[in-house]
A and B are shown apart, each in its own frame.
Chain A
Amino acid sequence: MDRRSFIIANTHTKSPEFRTNAGLSPYSPPIGNAELIHLLRRVLFGVKPADISKVKGKSLNDVLDMLFIADPTPDPPVNNYNTTSYTDPVVPLGQSWVTAPNDGNATGYRNSSFKSWWTGLMLNQNTSIHEKMVLFWHNHFATETVDINDARYSYKHNVLLRTFALGNFKSMVKEITLDPGMLRYLNGYLNNKTSPDENYARELQELFTLGKGPKSNYTESDVKQAAKVLTGYTVNATTITSAFDSTKHDTGNKQFSSFYNNIVITGKTGAAGATELDELINMIFQQPETALYICRRLYRFFVYYEIDEATETNLIAPLAALFRSNNYEIKPVLKALFSSEHFYDPVNRACMIKGPLDYCIGLCREFNVVFPLSTDTVNLYYMHEYIRTQASNMQQNLGDPPNVAGWAAYYQEPQFHKLWINADTLPRRSQFSDTMIGNGYTRNGKNITIDILSFVDSLSNPADPNILITDSLSIIYAIDISKEVQDFLKSILLSGQSTDSYWTAAWVTYKANVNNTANKTIVLTRLKSMFKYLMNLSEYQLS
């Protein structure tokens, strides 16, 4: 059998026991449901039945067009925190604080409000890659709200990530450099001609553009020279804006190493000093490593963490070339990746260990967990905070990655995503799913929980336990499970009986009168047990 017919033959059987060196060439067989769900899983936080119906039957191009529609700019976060113990002196409950003066005491409350707001945007994402790219960039240009210590900066930084999430990476790097939050986080505002602070200059190269690949050979001296280029930027703490102060700028020439072809950025006086930044960015973006590094990061975020030689040659290199020929526009690169043979290669499916946010937000979305109304800000934000805290306990604290490198799972050799799973975090994941499938979380008289009856009711034929199980698995599991395990699952629904009709009868009886508590309890307890088990299995950790 030749390679192509082998892939086609396997497209729908999902039992790949081989690996191909499929590259960037477009995936040509007709796109099936399994491929579309695979795509949705990677670009969204969990896949809800409604997402699937939106893409069903469409061509890959149409689906990608839909997935790349940018979300509208969201309304800003609001004050949800005025209580008897603390009242914001300038912002009333329900009003936005993002431009209001900060009295210092508000910071902790506003940071939480900011994070709740962001969590809500994830939970309510459209069928678009936009929100996941915001998280990608947050990890890439990592900042910490606790360090920045004024939520207005963090909010403004976040808006910047949103604006450029699907835009031009080169322009984004410039804006990030001038972003007041980043200037504050990496001490850029303290960097001046008399006492250079190398912090941002180093991370700009090491983490934000070139990375530390084997061919990224910029020197310590390049860090120092770049720091000089970056002298003179200041932050206005009232307006939360940055500005260039030429009196603090190092006007000397900046001599770079042979890695940068010995480029000299000529020192400029006055306002012209600010143009040195463009020269610096041009110089960095001339290096092929920049596109390669970003493509590797995208690959690790959306496909798999291991990049072997075949992947580097057949996928990363052409992707990086495409990135450069498109002048660092993000969209063409991602679209090419998500249209490629490689992405749909069976070997690359179900191999992402869900990150904590993917896990927690995904769970809520998959099961369509209902949150308080958007008008009930206080309770809504409480619930978002609960979800966000769960992810934080699993080691992904939104808005506060461990350091400027972002979360270790996205860069730490050799474990990468496996770092999310350890003897501390794995039980926490099960605890969370157990809570959500159990009594849910209650605060202030409001409750969030998985309504498993309504989930199952939305499936094609819940009266047939076999179909109920396969339908559910196609939504919540990326990886196939054996007939043996499926039979075990069914035995939970059947309470150990071997006849399918016991379940069918119970379901039909329940549906005949959904208000009958006894009949409802019969199906509910069995469904809860089965779904608890499903979410406790290791398979549920994969996307």
Chain B
Amino acid sequence: MKRRDFIRHTAPAGIVFPALINGFTFKAFAESPLVSALTQAPTETDHVLVIVQLNGGNDGLNMVIPIDQYDNLSNARSNIIIPRNKILKLNGTSFTGLHPSMTGLQTMFNDEKLKIVQSVGYPQPNFSHFRATDIWLSASDSNQIINSGWAGRYLNEEYTNFPTGYPSSVMPDPLAIQIGSFVSPAMQGPGVNMGMAISDPVNFYNLINGIQGTAPNTRGGKELTYIRQIAQQTQQYASVIKGAAAKVTKQFSGYPTGNSLADQLKIVARLIAGGLKTRIYMVSLGGFDTHAQQVNSNATETGTHAILMQKVSEGIKAFMDDLEFLNSSKRVIGMTFSEFGRRIKSNSSGGTDHGAAAPLFVFGHYAQNDVSGTSPIINLTTGTADNIPMQYDFRSIYAAILQQWFCVPETTLENVMLKNFQNIPVIKKSAPCMSSSPDLIIANAGKNIISNYPNPFQTSTTISYESSGGHTLIQVFNTEGRLIKTLVDAVINSGNHKITFENEGYLPGVYYARLQNNTIQQIRTMLLVN
């Protein structure tokens, strides 16, 4: 076989060629005036998103406690349930309370700076830490492998051709910053990673920048090009980061000690207040994989999980206080997430196994101050495999933040999210760039817009629902959170509609019908009997 044939036959599909990560290859394009003219300028915004990742799968049911489901929940997890009288109350709701360690977040909620979104997940939940994390970071479907991250795709839309030509006068700063070790896969763009990792903004070490040869066209050359690029970035961004850090000489004094999340957020506050135009920061806290002994058995409001809850709450509260102190709080929205929640029923090791949907927080001056969704429904008897059904797709939160906070236009949004997701109100209407209206959801509070008859049912049941028009989705989930059937997924007229759900040999038990229509979603519990 001839050498040329080798190249042709073995150039594998789907490989990232060095061209994509090698500035030299793109140079010719970047210099062309035509291409420059086509290159869009990024959206004007000084908004910042801070993502707080809770590694290990957080027990959402002991964090945001469904007070209205307390008795059944207590049955399911008697050895770890938080005593009813210790649950922290929230203004305006008697249904939802917080873990007793979360006084900081309680204050923020009552000060109208915190939003709770109930039961966030995705259809066909995955119970593996690594896979579930990949799903959350890439914003893929459960059965879909996407090798880029959602934040990376967003930044790729905003800052075309990165890293060629960056830093630039328009964007002199890192696009995204991970505090800590590896740059998160969330920041992986379609071609290159859009983020950088730092742990200490002051002691940036100067890499030398001397003479270097051309990288050969081999695997080794490809790796070499990558390392060189990082080396250059390190140097290019070192000065702006040091500069931003140097501008902030005094920070809020109330940061807790021994709290690595607070330490990381303190660096973030400093960089934000120092004037970096960086849009996305990621921080993380580990230890949430509480299979055993998550509480102290003699006082369930204390123990491992309680300490974690305290770290999250105190860290975020101090961060927001610091931003207030530094006059930067209006620029910042934060969100928490974990790769999954935990099982409703506790195990006898005093812990909880991997679960499905869970609540998350959105925080900040402009966070819409409410609880989205109802308390997860806990049945009188809960099986070990039962999970919280999803009410909101996690990608709706991403999409909402991109649209309402980063002012991403609808057309671009689909490029980033890869699909059209429900838009739910996450950011206050008073925030700049706010486009959607939360009025509808408030008008519909307490109203049953989806119901079924007969219930319980044997062979079939008719689901009646009201749509305000536009895209309407009705899905049926089982108690493990698995998607059983999609009944409606179409653009329909406003008004009342009916659809039949047939028993296609399903096991008897509880099923959830989920209606999603624009900003509204509602869950109906249906009981299938023999």
Question: Which A residues lie at the B interface, using CB under 8 A?
Answer: 1-3, 6, 15-21, 187, 190, 194-199, 202, 206, 212, 220, 223, 304, 306, 308-310, 346-353, 395, 402-403, 405, 408, 411-415, 417-419, 421-428, 430-431, 478-482, 484-485, 488, 533, 536-539, 541-542
Contacts and interface: CB of A to CB of B under 8 A. Distances in A.
Contacts of A353: 223, 227
B224 to A, nearest CB: 6
Contact of B223 (A1, A413, A418): A418
B421 interface: no
Nearest to A311: B12
Nearest to A14: B216
Contact of A488 (B13, B181, B211, B354): B211
Kindly list the 3 A-B residue pairs having the minimum CB-CB distance in the complex, ordered from nearest: A482-B213, A308-B12, A350-B220
Nearest to B1: A3
B518 interface: no
A481 B216 CA distance: 9
Given A21-B6, A425-B197, A414 B347 contact: no
B160 interface: no
Contacts of B3: 1, 3, 6, 18
Contacts of A395: 181-182
B181 A424 contact: yes
Interface in B165-222: 180-183, 185, 188, 193, 196-199, 204-205, 207-208, 210-214, 216-222
Given A190-B349, A422-B197, A485-B213, A351 B218 contact: yes
Nearest to A428: B205
A22 to B, nearest CB: 10
Contact of A347 (B199, B218, B347): B218
Contacts of B183: 419, 422
Contact of A538 (B7, B9, B227, B354): B227
B247 to A, nearest CB: 20
A190 B292 contact: yes
B242 to A, nearest CB: 12
A21 B161 CA distance: 33
A541 B13 CA distance: 27
B70 interface: no
Contacts of A212: 128, 130-131
Given A351-B223, A424-B181, A308 B127 contact: no
A453 B434 CA distance: 67
Contacts of A405: 129-130
A11 B193 CA distance: 35
Contacts of A412: 185
B131 A197 contact: no
Contacts of B131: 212
A82 to B, nearest CB: 27
A306 B10 contact: no
Contact of B220 (A349, A484, A488): A349
Contacts of B213: 481-482, 484-485
Contact of B147 (A2, A413, A431): A413
A255 B397 CA distance: 40
Given A430-B205, A542-B223, A2 B188 contact: no
Interface stretch (B29-37, B91-99, B230-238, B399-407): B230-238
A424 B230 CA distance: 10
B211 to A, nearest CB: 5
8 contacts: A3-B1, A21-B10, A187-B291, A306-B219, A349-B220, A353-B227, A421-B230, A430-B205
B465 interface: no
A542 B2 CA distance: 30
A155 B74 CA distance: 41
Contacts of B16: 414
Interface in B95-137: 127-131
B219 A351 contact: yes
Given A2-B1, A430-B207, A348 B6 contact: no
A426 B7 contact: no
Contacts of A194: 348
Interface string B128-154: 111100000000000001010000000
Nearest to A190: B349
A15 B204 CA distance: 36
Which interface residue of A6, A15, A426 has the most chain B CB atoms within 10 A?
A426
B147 A414 contact: yes
Contacts of A346: 218
Contacts of B231: 426, 538
Nearest to A349: B220
Contacts of A350: 218, 220
Contacts of A418: 223, 226
A202 B128 contact: yes
A497 B183 CA distance: 43
Contacts of B193: 415
B417 to A, nearest CB: 20
B353 interface: yes
B1 to A, nearest CB: 5
B265 to A, nearest CB: 17
A538 B212 contact: yes
A366 to B, nearest CB: 18
B421 to A, nearest CB: 24
B228 interface: yes
Contacts of B1: 2-3
A424 B218 contact: no
B212 A537 contact: yes
Given A304-B219, A533-B210, A197 B227 contact: no
Contacts of B228: 538
Contact of A478 (B145, B182, B198, B220): B220
B126 to A, nearest CB: 9
Contact of A423 (B10, B130, B196, B217): B196
A543 to B, nearest CB: 10
B442 interface: no
Contacts of B348: 194-195
Contacts of A539: 224
Contacts of B182: 395, 408, 419, 422
B207 A424 contact: no
Contacts of A538: 212, 224, 227-228, 231
B15 interface: yes
A201 to B, nearest CB: 11
Contact of A427 (B205, B223, B349): B205
Contacts of B188: 414-415
Interface string B23-46: 000000000000000000000000
Contact of A351 (B7, B210, B222, B292): B222
Nearest to B56: A403
Nearest to A417: B223
Given A19-B10, A195-B349, A308 B15 contact: yes
Contact of A426 (B180, B234, B237): B234
A173 to B, nearest CB: 19
A421 B227 contact: yes
Nearest to A186: B291
